[in-house]
Amino acid sequence: MWSGQEYLKPRTKRLKVKIPRHFWLYFLVIFSFALNILLFWQNKSLKSQLVSLKREIVALELREKELETQLDQLQKEKEELLQQAVGVLKKRTSYMEKIIRRLGLSRHFGTSQQKALGGPYLPPRKEYEILRERINTYLTRLEKVPLGKPCRGYISSYYGYRRDPFTGKRAFHSGIDIVARYGAPVRATADGVVYRVGYSRGLGRYVKIRHKHGFLTVYGHLRKYVVKRGERVKKGEIIGYVGNTGRSTGPHLHYEIRRWGRSLNPLRFIRAERHLARVARSFPSS
């Protein structure tokens, strides 16, 4: 039976979403498919990254090898330069040793014992150091040896037998005469101690200086001297002035070098200084 009330009755219809059958199965299939795609892309990008990394590594390895060869080359060049320097130093050392030998000083400078440098193998660096040190030692020791000229001027009379300017007879000249301007400064040719000053008929006013290794220098015919007996003098220090005292025919300096009482040719020592100056110029001491 129909009644109006029946129409007014609120319909309580439940909204029901209908889940298709096998929904979860579909979902799982789709999900795993999507995941697969994602993983696939990730894998691909990782692979490409790996490839580029590998390439970088190869490039770095190449660069490393390049640098290594460069380093080798530099090392070789350095070694060669050092070897060259050692060669130059060796030449200089032997040159200096020759000068020292000629002056009769090998024993005092230890050059006679040092000949065996070519013996056992030494690395160039070490050899370089040894040679450098040796040259410096020679230079400092030679400071104590009378070298060079005591005053400016030209040599008018040499060492050895000559005709005596006063008697005209053959006589031994135990030094050299340097003609210089009257009053020109006379300097000590090496560090030493003033052994004697005075006046003699032959030498006129004179100064005698004692040096190391048995050397004695004599400066004669001075106008005056400015040092006292026992005074220490340095190489190059003014000890007096050129004059014409004693047996002299004009202003000049009589200069002698003696060693252990024997006179030596001063010219050898003057020349030695010139040779050494050349060595010192080409080898600036540290």
The nearest distance, CB 180 to Zn ion, in angstroms, is 13
Count of residues interacting with Zn ion (CB under 5 A): 2
Stretch that binds Zn ion, among 54-62, 72-80, 172-180, 195-203 (CB under 5 A): 172-180
The nearest distance, CB 204 to Zn ion, in angstroms, is 11
Question: What SS3 string covers 246-267?
Answer: CCCCCCEEEEEEEECCEEECHH
User: Is the Cβ of residue 122 or residue 155 nearer to Zn ion in the bound state?
Assistant: 155
User: Is the Cβ of residue 132 or residue 254 nearer to Zn ion in the bound state?
Assistant: 254
How far is Cα 51 from Cα 160, in angstroms, rounded to an integer? 93
Stretch that binds Zn ion, among 22-30, 125-133, 173-181, 234-242 (CB under 5 A): 173-181
By C-alpha distance, which of 147, 159, 178, 158 is closest to 250? 178
The nearest distance, CB 168 to Zn ion, in angstroms, is 16
Task: Decide: helix, strand or coil at residue 224.
Answer: strand
DSSP-assigned states of every residue in 39-51: HHHHHHHHHHHHH
The nearest distance, CB 200 to Zn ion, in angstroms, is 13
Kindly state whether residue 177 participates in binding Zn ion, applying the rule CB under 5 A.
yes
- Enumerate residues 220-259 that contact Zn ion by CB under 5 A: 254
User: Is the Cβ of residue 27 or residue 166 nearer to Zn ion in the bound state?
Assistant: 166
CB closest to Zn ion, residue no: 254
Binding mask 54-93 for Zn ion (x = CB under 5 A): ----------------------------------------
The nearest distance, CB 222 to Zn ion, in angstroms, is 13
How far is Cα 198 from Cα 238, in angstroms, rounded to an integer? 16
Question: What SS3 string covers 114-180?
Answer: HHHHHCCCCCHHHHHHHHHHHHHHHHHHHCCCCCCCCCCCEEEECCEEEECCCCCCEEEECCEEEEC
| Residue 41 main-chain phi, psi, to 5 deg | -65, -40
The nearest distance, CB 238 to Zn ion, in angstroms, is 20
List contacts with Zn ion (CB under 5 A): 177, 254
